[in-house]
Structure 1
Amino acid sequence: MHTLESLLGALIEVSVPAFAIASMLSMGLRTPLRAFRDQMRDRRTVLAVLGANFVVVPAVGTLLVWLLNGLLPHHTGEGFVIALCAAGAPFVLQLGAMARIPYGETAGPMAVLLLGSIVFMPLVVPFLLQDVDVHGWAVAQLLLGTMLSPMVAGIVLGAVFPRRADQLARTAGSVAAVSAVLMFLSGFGANSALVLDLLLSPVLLVAAGLVAMAFLVGRFSGDLAGSTLTVPDGPAILTSQRNIAAALLVARTGTGPEDDGSIVLAILLLSAVGFVMLVPYALASGLVRRRRAGEATSLGVLLGVVGPKAD
């Protein structure tokens, strides 16, 4: 049993960066550089998205975690706080495709949030969690190497090989999907002794509440955004799906040997709850938008894996 848990622990060390690299490469291949330029010029949208993700959600979420800390077992609260500080999730791109949101409206703000997370997390997490020793430069290097660099490489490859960009993006997306499955299976498996304890506690309800709170904050920021955002609930999806890869990188570089794995498990649980809540919403809203536009509604189209990209 100990050997199996050790193997699963090693697997998560590989699957997390693989998920981040493949997701960001796929995003870069699908998104032209002009989409980023147009988004960066819309200062109103940039400020609204940054404020929602790096001010309101971490502040309100951390306050709620502190108030409910007595109900949360082990170090689950610390894991939630780390996840709330991590923005710019690569999976938002797939959720946006499901919801029929143009790639530029998810990829542009997500790139801003990714850069913000690289600066924000090493500076803020240590103040919120005194027990978590975050090595700022090490975390920044990991985020730059596993998320920002693949995104830039994808943009360059897409510009140099435009005819092959879509196929390469689909291949990278498939690798990201497999890596995500392995990431969750290995994460839960390596901490199997804690899973039952958490399921019997209010942890899932707290996680659902945090996701709902982030969604409402993001939806409000969408109303405050500028003209480059044509779908107002795009920022809601962007804000409520936290960056699990960045959160796990911070957690695994900041926790010591005394940690029992509950911080990592809490991050995975929050992401899983967000997935369960957001995927049905994205599918339903995407179905409505496609029917209104008179578009096809096959399974592949609804899942965002078939059809032309939207700039």
Structure 2
Amino acid sequence: MHTIESLLGLLIQVSVPVFAIASMLSMGLRTPLRAFRNQLRDRRTVFSVLGANFVVVPAVGTLIIWILNGLLPYQTGEGFIIALCAAGAPFVLQLGAMARIPYGETAGPMAVLLLGSIVFMPLVVPFVLQDVEVDGWAVARLLLGTMLSPMIAGIVIAAVWPKRSDQFARVAGSVAAVSAVLMFLSGFGSNTGLVLSLVLSPAILVAVGLVAIAFVAGRISGDLAGDTLTVDDGPAILTSQRNIAAALLVARTGSGDGSIVVAILLLSAVGFVMLVPYALASGVIRRRRAGERATLGVLLGVVGPKSD
């Protein structure tokens, strides 16, 4: 049993950076530079999305966690806070495809949020979690090396070999998907007792509430956004799916135990369970209104061209 737990622990140590690198490489390969330029020019959208993700969600979520901290298992609240500070999840691109949101309306804001996370997390996480030792500079180096650099590499590769960029992106996306599955299996598998205790505790309800608050904050930011966003609930999906890769990378730099990692995985899993049905239902409605066929492959975003 100890050997199995050791192997699972080693697996999550490997799968987390692989997931981060592969997902960001895939994102860079699929995102043209014009998506960034168009998004950055729309200052109203940039500020509304940044405000929801780096002001409202971390502040309100942290306040709720501090109030309810006595009801949460050891270091679960710290894991939730790290996740709330991490924005710009690559999986948002897939959720956007499910919900029939134009690709540029998810890729552009997601890239902006990723850059914001690289600046925000090294400064805020060590300040908020003073009882957990987190090296801000180590966080910055890790995010730059495993998230920003692969994204830039993907953009450069797509510009140099545009005809092969989609093929490269599919390979990187497949690697990211496999590593994500291994990441959840190893993270939960090496902490089975803790996972069960969290699921049977108020922590699961807190996680549901945090995702719901993030969704509402994102929906309001969509109403306040500029003309580059045509689908109002796009920022809601973008905000409520936190960046699990960045959160886990940051957790690895701290002195906490497996409780923080499991809490981050739990919050991400709850967000996944809540958002995927919403995205699929929204996609069905939008495709029917547009007179499109809503096949399973189309709904899952694996069939059909990207929409820009």
Fold match by TM threshold 0.5:
yes
Matched with 2:164 is 164
Whole-angstrom distance in 1 between the partners of 2:203 and 2:46? 32
Q: Does the 8 A contact of 2:118 with 2:143 survive in 1?
A: yes
Whole-angstrom distance in 1 between the partners of 2:101 and 2:148? 22
Give 1:222 shift. Answer: 0.4
> Aligned partner of 2:125: which letter?
V
Give 1:30 shift. Answer: 1.3
Give 1:193 shift. Answer: 2.3
Give 1:275 shift. Answer: 0.2
Give 1:229 shift. Answer: 0.5
Report the more deviating stretch, 103-112 or 235-244: 103-112
Residues 1:210 and 2:210 aligned together: yes
Residues 257-268 of structure 1 mapped to structure 2, 5 A cutoff: 259=257, 261-268=258-265
Query: Which of 285, 300, 306 is the matching residue for 2:297?
Result: 300
Show structure 2 runs of 5+ residues with no match: none
Secondary structure of the equivalent of 1:52? helix
Matched with 2:56 is 56
Q: Does the 8 A contact of 1:45 with 1:224 survive in 2?
A: yes
Residues 175-186 of structure 1 mapped to structure 2, 5 A cutoff: 175-186=175-186
Residues 1:270 and 2:267 aligned together: yes
Deviations 1:236-277 (A, max 9, x none): 001000011111111111125xx3x11110000000000000
> Aligned partner of 2:223: which letter?
D
Residues 75-224 of structure 1 mapped to structure 2, 5 A cutoff: 75-224=75-224
Whole-angstrom distance in 2 between the partners of 1:89 and 1:23? 9
Matched with 2:7 is 7
Deviations 1:182-218 (A, max 9, x none): 0000000111221121122111111000000000000
Q: Does the 8 A contact of 2:126 with 2:136 survive in 1?
A: no
Q: Does the 8 A contact of 2:11 with 2:182 survive in 1?
A: yes
Give 1:294 shift. Answer: 1.6
Whole-angstrom distance in 2 between the partners of 1:149 and 1:310? 26
Give 1:233 shift. Answer: 0.5
Whole-angstrom distance in 2 between the partners of 1:295 and 1:30? 23
> Aligned partner of 2:272: which letter?
F
Give 1:296 shift. Answer: 2.3
> Aligned partner of 1:265: which letter?
V
Secondary structure of the equivalent of 1:58? helix
Whole-angstrom distance in 2 between the partners of 1:25 and 1:173? 8
Q: CA RMSD in A?
A: 1.0
Q: Does the 8 A contact of 1:30 with 1:309 survive in 2?
A: no
Residues 1:229 and 2:226 aligned together: no
Whole-angstrom distance in 2 between the partners of 1:277 and 1:78? 22
> Aligned partner of 1:276: which letter?
V
TM-score by length of 1: 0.97
Question: How many residue pairs were aligned?
Answer: 308
Secondary structure of the equivalent of 2:253? helix
Whole-angstrom distance in 2 between the partners of 1:45 and 1:105? 10
> Aligned partner of 2:6: which letter?
S
Show structure 1 runs of 5+ residues with no match: none
Deviations 1:16-38 (A, max 9, x none): 11111111111111111111100
Matched with 1:254 is 254
Give 1:54 shift. Answer: 0.5
Q: Does the 8 A contact of 1:222 with 1:234 survive in 2?
A: yes
TM-score by length of 2: 0.98
Report the more deviating stretch, 100-109 or 35-44: 100-109
Q: Percent identity?
A: 84
Whole-angstrom distance in 1 between the partners of 2:248 and 2:120? 15
